[in-house]
Chain A
Amino acid sequence: KAGVTQTPRYLIKTRGQQVTLSCSPISGHRSVSWYQQTPGQGLQFLFEYFSETQRNKGNFPGRFSGRQFSNSRSEMNVSTLELGDSALYLCASSLWGVTEAFFGQGTRLTVV
């Protein structure tokens, strides 16, 4: 069974640009959550999607957005990139809310 796949693995972007990250969950999983990990703040919850609906959102500015498609694949978008957006972005999939989460390898975003 394939695991959670995140693409791309690495990205370098310039301040002011926008970026889109992709997450393909484990087959059959309907919940996809996104997290940001930085050395200073650790892991922080961004948002969670279930059946194409955002059910939960963390404390991040509106520049961070996401969506989920009918096949449960999810994308997150960050507009007007800032240096502080440099981080490892992880997604996790689960069958539904209160079940074990499986994480992808992450996308390491560097904003210069």
Chain B
Amino acid sequence: KNEVEQSPQNLTAQEGEFITINCSYSVGISALHWLQQHPGGGIVSLFMLSSGKKKHGRLIATINIQEKHSSLHITASHPRDSAVYICAAGLNSGGSNYKLTFGKGTLLTVNP
């Protein structure tokens, strides 16, 4: 069983819709990362959070440490938001020893 589970695997939306992608993890973490990957491979770090909520433009990330669950929301979705969204659990195994474990990703397609 993967330590980081994402849902849904695929998501198709119409432009303007509110999008939610969920991430559950089974281990204690130091931080939870949300990443965006466009076709071609490059990965962009969207958020790194260890508690509460962060907002950047139309993107909002929340985390519930007790429930080991995080969500990524996109408000007023746009075709340019089409990408793979990946959550990653950051595990600190002592000192500055830090390792990311990734979910399988959610392929988001936003149609005009």
Contacts and interface: CB of A to CB of B under 8 A. Distances in A.
A interface residue count range (under 10 / 10 to 19 / 20 to 34 / 35 or more): 20 to 34
Contacts, number: 73
Interface of B: 30-31, 33, 35, 40-45, 48, 86, 88, 90, 92-93, 95-105
Interface of A: 31, 33, 35, 37, 42-45, 48, 50, 55-56, 58, 88, 90, 92, 94, 96-106, 108
Contacts of B86: 42-43
Contacts of A105: 40-42
Contact of B41 (A31, A55, A56, A108): A108
B25 to A, nearest CB: 15
B100 to A, nearest CB: 6
Query: Would you call the interface of chain B mostly helix, strand, loop, or mixed?
Result: strand
A96 B95 CA distance: 10
A45 B100 contact: yes
Nearest to A48: B99
A38 B73 CA distance: 26
For B30, B43, B86, B88, which residue has the most chain A Cβ atoms within 10 angstroms?
Answer: B43
**Chain A interface main SS type:** strand
B94 to A, nearest CB: 10
B33 A101 contact: yes
Nearest to A105: B42
Nearest to B6: A42
Contacts of A108: 41
Contacts of B45: 100-103
Contacts of B31: 98
B49 to A, nearest CB: 10
Contact of B48 (A35, A45, A100, A106): A100
Contact of B96 (A90, A98, A104, A106): A98
